[in-house]
Structure 1
Amino acid sequence: MNYETLAIVMRRLALEAGDVIMEIYNSDDFDVKVKSDSSPVTEADEAADALISAGLKAEFPDTLLVTEEQASTHDQQAQTFLIVDPLDGTKEFINRRGDFTVNIAFVENGTPTRGVVYAPAKNRMFFTQADGTSVEELGPFEKDKIGVLHDIQVSNPDNSALLVVASKSHRDQATDDYINKYAVKDMKSAGSSLKFCLIATGEADIYPRVGRTMEWDTAAGHAVLHGAGGKVVRFDDHTPLTYGKDGYANPFFIAYSPEVCLKQPT
């Protein structure tokens, strides 16, 4: 894989998908359907998926592609592949809360090594460069020209006063019980893969996820966090979260700055 080309293509496709998504987001109304797993899907999910898939297949025809909105891609088995969630945070999109993202990632040998997370309604863009390090690009954004880049790095947290970020739409008692094991200075809620990016920039220290996610939900944010010095581990035994699992389903996990002293689940 040519990482330089990959970074350019993923960034461009994320911006193009963001434009499509925002056009629908800003319209008076849009269609919402329910998928077989009871999760919602909109015309924005489908339009962004078609655009990103076509672009990735054209540029990287020999690389396996897995995408949330194409069930036919979910039966493939590989350890190295591209993986896409064209609109992560569909519930945030439907409720016009802005915390939704475009996620595109490259997984190598079971680990997300390159990725882009673009939050078009928040005007925030995070991606890994060719060397694997992560940056935030400051808008306004141009598709064919990278703007001002800001190097990002995880925090050096104070374990007596941690900054926690948790899901906005999927918060539950089990999550709160685990968070209560820590000395928390502040807690914020965020939707979609933005939670990984808040840890990558040092705006938060830890994100525990005690709930269902799929690999396309997490891979891009995982790559960005990894490139900023962060880690993502399984909730149960704190071993690294790997990708290419059966059905692309994740176990519960914790994303964090490595200096956080992790607590064991009950």
Structure 2
Amino acid sequence: MGASIDERKPMVSGFGYASHSSSGIGSAHFRGRGRSHAPFKTWIWRHWPLLMVGSFGAFYLIHRLSHMGSSTSAPKATSQSAQQLRSDSSRVQNGKVRLSDLIGASIHLSEVAAHEITDVKFGGKEATEVKGKTDEGVDEPVTLADARSNSVFVNGLRELFPGISILSEETDPDLEEVGISAINGVELTHDPWLDLNDILITVDPLDATKEFTENLLHFVTTMVCVVHKGKPIAGIINEPFVKDEAAVWGVALDKATEGADLRVSHGLQPSTEDTVAGADKVVISRSHTGSGADVVSEYLPGKQPVFAGGSGYKALRVLEGDANAYVHVTKIKSWDVCAADAVVHAAGGEFTNLKGERLVYEKDDPMISGGIIAAADSKMHAWYVEKLAPLQSSHGDKHRI
């Protein structure tokens, strides 16, 4: 005959000990009052290691049960300080960021921002205000699309790269987590880790806002630029209203500052042949038609001005052969031209001031003076620098360079 339940060796279970019934199901037995404590003390002495393990298990079980239903995600940040924003998707390691991550994140955010822009335009949500005037007295509009695109870029970059410096055309947005779960970095043959303190990201969340309000949507772009020690090394230009077109991006690195010489462009095929359709065309701003058209007629023989909106659009037209050069003779902001600068250089072109000098982008000063010449190759660029040289002396004030 088998042993009775009381004769079986007990198994520790929680705060008591369990025995097996004939059905094989464990049941808890607790020592009650009125029983002798001597056997119990003896049992405790013999089995104290098992009791310790069981007690720890019970404590862990209670701890887990007490936290069931509570959120395990990080609380949403309430401060606009980038240092206080925390994300599991942060790409910053020991104060450094990988260039491919910066580019991949910017491409992804440009696609999200493009969706926001088209949603505003086609969803009947457009509302326009005037935020100020240009140096020429032209109204500078701002729309809900600008604000929503800006929120995507600024908050997304802060979420992925806490502490990064961002210079955007629009004001600092209310903090709103973008909730990025995964970013695919681009593949580069040289992919340096860069010190976060040496990086500036310029953002134009909606270039050609005036044209956006006038439904000239082919001029509209979003632009992001990665600046390293004052020099643009990567640019991303997205055209939200150009169907089935991916973002155009480019990388231009120098061995002296980034450890290797590298020129990579994606999404365009620049042409430098004089026989292309745009060989006699110079693209200039629609907003500054007077001074731009005068410069072309007075200093650039054989060239015709083509009026367009947005620096991103103008740069792409040059690189794709629709225009011979992009010329600008008035002051302009860094977020308007930085991405275009990087993309043009990545494609083997030149993007300088009217003296032929590279532009420098500062964290504390967004103003770019001295005009702009952008061309698809150095030979064409040199011709424009030579022809426009008189602007630097006798006509600087006239054309507000």
Q: Which has the larger radius of gyration?
A: 2
Counterparts in 2 of 1:79 and 1:154: CA distance versus 1, 3 Å:
farther
Structure 2: tracts of 5 or more residues without a match: 1-96, 134-138, 174-196, 253-261, 396-401
Q: Secondary structure at the match of 1:184?
A: coil
Distance 1:167 1:36 in 2: 18
Deviates more, 1:61-70 or 1:213-222: 61-70
Alignment of 1:213 with 2:332, yes or no, is: yes
- The aligned counterpart of 1:166 is 284
Paired with 1:153 and 1:54, the residues of 2 have a C-alpha distance of: 33
- Check whether the contact 1:87–1:100 (CA below 8 A) recurs between aligned residues: yes
Find the aligned partners of 1:217 and 1:207 in 2 and give their Cα distance: 13
Which of the two has greater helix per residue? Answer: 2
Look up the equivalent residue of 1:82 and give its one-letter code.
I
Q: TM-score, normalised by structure 1?
A: 0.82
| Structure 1 residue aligned with 2:164 | 63
Aligned to 2:255: none
Which residue matches 1:43? 144
Shift of 1:256: 1.6
CA RMSD of aligned residues (A): 2.5
> What's 2:121 paired with?
25
Counterparts of 2:201 and 2:263, CA distance in 1: 16
Deviations 1:206-227 (A, max 9, x none): 1111223200011111111111
DSSP 3-state at the match of 2:365: helix
Moved more, 242-251 or 96-105: 242-251
Rounded to whole Å, the distance in 2 between the matches of 1:61 and 1:254 is: 35
Match in the other structure for 1:147: none
Shift in Å, 1:71:
6.1
State how 1:1-266 maps to structure 2 within 5 Å.
1-28=97-124, 30-37=126-133, 39-70=140-171, 80-98=199-217, 99-123=219-243, 124=245, 125-128=247-250, 132-136=263-267, 150=268, 152-157=269-274, 162-172=280-290, 174-180=291-297, 181-184=299-302, 187-192=305-310, 193-235=312-354, 237-244=355-362, 247-251=365-369, 252-257=371-376, 258-260=378-380, 261-262=383-384, 263=387, 264=389, 265=391, 266=395
Matched to 1:113, the amino acid is: I
Q: Distance between the aligned counterparts of 1:79 and 1:71, measured in 2? A: 21
Whether the 8 Å CA contact 2:328–2:372 is kept in 1: the answer is yes
Aligned-residue sequence identity (percent) comes to: 27
Tell me, in whole angstroms, the C-alpha distance in 1 between the residues paired with 2:107 and 2:172. 24
- Alpha-carbon separation, structure 2, partners of 1:68 and 1:185: 32
Q: Per the alignment, in what secondary structure is the counterpart of residue 343 of structure 2?
A: helix
Q: Deviations over 1:161-195 (max 9, x none)?
A: 533212233322x2122212224365433221110
Give the SS at the match of 1:238. coil
What is the TM-score of this pair, normalised by structure 2? 0.56
- Quote the Cα distance in structure 2 between the aligned partners of 1:223 and 1:40: 26
Q: Show CA shifts across 1:238-261 (max 9, x none).
A: 222221175311112211232211
Number of residue pairs matched by the alignment:
244
Hey, what's the Cα distance between the residues in 1 that align with 2:295 and 2:143?
33
Q: Return the letter of the residue paired with 1:191.
A: G
In structure 1, list runs of 5 or more residues that go unmatched.
73-77, 137-149
Q: Does structure 2 retain, via aligned residues, the 8 Å contact 1:115–1:128?
A: yes
Higher relative contact order (CA 8 A, sep 6+): 1
Following superposition, the deviation at residue 87 of structure 1 comes to 0.4
Secondary structure in 1 matching 2:241: coil
Counterpart amino acid of residue 249 in structure 1:
M
Cα distance in 2 for residues equivalent to 1:203 and 1:59: 37
Distance 1:182 1:190 in 2: 18
| Greater strand fraction, Structure 1 or Structure 2 | 1
Instruction: Return the alpha-carbon distance in structure 1 between the equivalents of residues 359 and 374 of structure 2.
Output: 10
Q: Which moved more, 1:12-21 or 1:120-129?
A: 120-129
With 180-189 and 205-214 compared, the bigger mean Cα shift is at: 180-189
Alpha-carbon contact 1:155-1:199 (below 8 Å) kept:
no
Equivalent residue of 1:8, what SS?
Answer: helix
Asked if the contact 2:201–2:226 (Cα under 8 Å) also holds between the matched residues in 1, the reply is: yes
